[in-house]
Amino acid sequence: MKLYTKRGDQGSTQLIGGSKVSKDDKQVIAYGTMDELNAWLGYTITCCSDREALFINELQEIQQSLFDAGHDLATPSNHPAYIFNEKHVEWLEQRIDFYSAHSPEIRQFILPGGSRVAAVLHVARTITRRLERQIVALQKETSINGSVLKYVNRLSDYFFAAARYANVLNNIDDVFYDNGRK
């Protein structure tokens, strides 16, 4: 099987169900950013040390979930064969609660950084926030699976909590915003 089909050479792509849209369509932009996030998570996994190995399975599970969510974003509203559901959101909330309970209380703004894994998890958080904005823009034009937006909203919180916990695992303090610096 060839990797190229030449079907997109004129600037369009096919959605699930067969309809064609422009490659700059908000739907394509959203699931394209989701793919970017998934690729970033692949890189993040390679950054995990033995101490941070607990993140590997979780990040791989998130990658699988992002594929399911991407399927739903690539499904036109007139062809709703959604596969993504609330169980993904609940799983994230459990992990966020765990990491929050095992990290220091937040008393001021935290800057991205600390350990290497914390830093790359913060990049994942910012990609996720961009994805969320794109999904919000998309839902103004068409109906989407609401579980996908809820998941993406929780996912950025997961990355924040996981980044903080990565610093705990590495015995590194969070990097705090100092608004009194000169």
> Tell me, what's the pLDDT at 115?
96
pLDDT of residue 182: 63
Domain locations in the chain as residue ranges: 23-75+86-176
Q: For residue 110, what pLDDT is reported?
A: 93
pLDDT number for residue 126: 98
Q: Which CATH superfamily is domain 23-75+86-176 in?
A: Cobalamin adenosyltransferase-like (1.20.1200.10)
**For the chain, which ranges sit under pLDDT 70?**
182
**Residue 148: its pLDDT value, please?**
95
So what's the pLDDT on residue 114? Answer: 95
pLDDT of residue 22: 86
Q: pTM of this prediction?
A: 0.93
pLDDT for residue 15 = 80
* Residues 126, 37: Cα–Cα separation, whole Å: 9
